Structure 1
Amino acid sequence: MWDAIVVGGGLAGWTAGIRAAQRGKKVLIVTEGVGTLYYFSGIFDYGDLESLRHLPKHPYSLFDAEAIDRGKHFIQELCPEYIETNKSQHALTVLGTARQGDLMPRSMVLPNHQEQGSFVLLVPEGLKDFFPEIVVSNLVREFPGWQVNVKRVHAENFGEWQRMGKSASGIDYAAIWRSKEGQNLLAQEIEAIKREHQGAGSRSGKIAVVLPSLVSEYFDASRTKTYVQDYSLPVIEMSSFLPSPHGRYFAEYLKHQFTDLGGELMIGARAAALNGKPMSAKQPKSCQEIIVQSMGKVLHLKAKKFILATGGLLGGGIKVGIERKLIQEDVFDLPLYVPQEWSTSQFFASQPFAQIGVETDKCLRPLDTNQGRVIWDNVHVVGRMLAHWDPWTQRCGGGVSVTSGCAAAEII
Structure 2
Amino acid sequence: MWDAVVVGGGLAGLIAGIRATQRGKRVLLVTEGVGTLFHFSGIFDYGDVEGLRHLPKHPYTLFDSQAITQGKHFVQEICPEYVVNDRPQSAFNVLGTVRQGDLMPRSMVLPDPQEQGVFVLLVPEGLKDFFPEIVADNMAREFPGWQVSVKRMQVDALQEWTRLGKSVTSIDYADIWRSEEGYRALAHEIDEIKRQFQDAGRSQGKIVVVLPSLVREYFDASRTKFYRNEFSLPVLEMSSFVPSPHGRYFAEYLKHIFTDLGGELMIGARAVSLKGELNSEGHAKICQELVVRSMGKLMRLKGKKFILATGGLLGGGIKVGMARRSIRESVFDLPLFIPQEWSVPQFLAPQPYAQIGVETDQFMRPLDPVSGQVVWDNVHVVGRMLAHWDPWTQRCGGGVSVTSGYAAAELI
**Shared topology, TM-score over 0.5?**
yes
> Counterparts of 1:103-182 in structure 2 under 5 Å?
103-182=103-182
Per mean C-alpha deviation after superposition, the further-off stretch among 305-314 and 204-213 is 204-213
> Counterparts of 1:245-264 in structure 2 under 5 Å?
245-264=245-264
User: CA, structure 1 residues 118+227, in 2 after alignment: closer, same or farther (shift >3 Å)?
Assistant: closer
Q: What amino acid does structure 1 have at the position aligned with 2:369?
A: T
Contact 2:40 2:246 survives alignment (8 Å): yes
Q: What amino acid does structure 1 have at the position aligned with 2:305?
A: K
> Counterparts of 1:292-371 in structure 2 under 5 Å?
292-371=292-371
Contact 1:17 1:29 survives alignment (8 Å): yes
Distance in 1 (alpha carbons) for counterparts of 2:240 and 2:290: 36
Q: What amino acid does structure 2 have at the position aligned with 1:245?
A: P
1:225 to partner: Cα distance: 3.4
Contact 1:215 1:237 survives alignment (8 Å): yes
Distance in 1 (alpha carbons) for counterparts of 2:314 and 2:57: 21
Distance in 2 (alpha carbons) for counterparts of 1:21 and 1:80: 19
User: CA, structure 1 residues 86+198, in 2 after alignment: closer, same or farther (shift >3 Å)?
Assistant: farther
Determine helix, strand or coil for the equivalent of 1:398. helix
State yes or no: 1:64 paired with 2:30: no
State yes or no: 1:196 paired with 2:196: yes
Corresponding residue for residue 74 of structure 2: 74
1:86 to partner: Cα distance: 5.2
State yes or no: 1:244 paired with 2:244: yes
Distance in 2 (alpha carbons) for counterparts of 1:337 and 1:58: 12
Distance in 1 (alpha carbons) for counterparts of 2:350 and 2:203: 43
**Alpha-carbon deviations, 1:304-354, whole Å to 9, x = none?**
000000000111000001042310000100000000111111221111100
Contact 2:221 2:256 survives alignment (8 Å): yes
Distance in 2 (alpha carbons) for counterparts of 1:226 and 1:106: 18
1:202 to partner: Cα distance: 3.9
**Alpha-carbon deviations, 1:42-77, whole Å to 9, x = none?**
000100011011112000000011110110011000
Distance in 2 (alpha carbons) for counterparts of 1:10 and 1:88: 24
Determine helix, strand or coil for the equivalent of 2:334. coil
Corresponding residue for residue 23 of structure 1: 23
Distance in 2 (alpha carbons) for counterparts of 1:206 and 1:148: 12
User: CA, structure 1 residues 64+142, in 2 after alignment: closer, same or farther (shift >3 Å)?
Assistant: same
Which 5+ residue runs of structure 2 have no aligned equivalent? none
1:167 to partner: Cα distance: 1.4
Contact 1:96 1:134 survives alignment (8 Å): yes
**Alpha-carbon deviations, 1:181-218, whole Å to 9, x = none?**
11111111111111111222449611100001100011
1:226 to partner: Cα distance: 6.5
Distance in 1 (alpha carbons) for counterparts of 2:151 and 2:397: 35
Distance in 1 (alpha carbons) for counterparts of 2:228 and 2:13: 31
Contact 1:276 1:286 survives alignment (8 Å): yes
Root-mean-square deviation (Å): 1.3
Percent identity over paired residues: 73
Contact 2:337 2:369 survives alignment (8 Å): no
Corresponding residue for residue 47 of structure 1: 47
Distance in 1 (alpha carbons) for counterparts of 2:350 and 2:113: 30
Determine helix, strand or coil for the equivalent of 2:258. helix
Kindly report structure 1 stretches of 4+ aligned residues shifted beyond 4 Å.
none
Q: What amino acid does structure 2 have at the position aligned with 1:75?
A: V
Determine helix, strand or coil for the equivalent of 2:288. strand
TM-score under structure 2 length normalisation: 0.98
Q: What amino acid does structure 2 have at the position aligned with 1:381?
A: V
1:134 to partner: Cα distance: 1.1
Per mean C-alpha deviation after superposition, the further-off stretch among 276-285 and 95-104 is 276-285
1:227 to partner: Cα distance: 5.9
Distance in 1 (alpha carbons) for counterparts of 2:35 and 2:235: 30
- Number of paired residues? 412
User: CA, structure 1 residues 205+106, in 2 after alignment: closer, same or farther (shift >3 Å)?
Assistant: same
Contact 2:178 2:226 survives alignment (8 Å): no
Contact 1:146 1:203 survives alignment (8 Å): no
Determine helix, strand or coil for the equivalent of 1:272. strand
1:224 to partner: Cα distance: 3.4
Contact 2:190 2:232 survives alignment (8 Å): yes
State yes or no: 1:224 paired with 2:224: yes
Q: What amino acid does structure 2 have at the position aligned with 1:154?
A: Q
Distance in 2 (alpha carbons) for counterparts of 1:314 and 1:227: 35
Distance in 2 (alpha carbons) for counterparts of 1:56 and 1:270: 34
Corresponding residue for residue 211 of structure 1: 211
Determine helix, strand or coil for the equivalent of 1:100. strand
**Alpha-carbon deviations, 1:359-403, whole Å to 9, x = none?**
000000000121121011000000000000000010000000000
Distance in 2 (alpha carbons) for counterparts of 1:203 and 1:100: 30
Determine helix, strand or coil for the equivalent of 1:102. strand
Which 5+ residue runs of structure 1 have no aligned equivalent? none
TM-score under structure 1 length normalisation: 0.98
Per mean C-alpha deviation after superposition, the further-off stretch among 391-400 and 82-91 is 82-91
Distance in 1 (alpha carbons) for counterparts of 2:403 and 2:324: 31
Corresponding residue for residue 395 of structure 2: 395
**Alpha-carbon deviations, 1:234-259, whole Å to 9, x = none?**
10000001100000100110110000
User: CA, structure 1 residues 253+183, in 2 after alignment: closer, same or farther (shift >3 Å)?
Assistant: same
Distance in 2 (alpha carbons) for counterparts of 1:389 and 1:364: 15
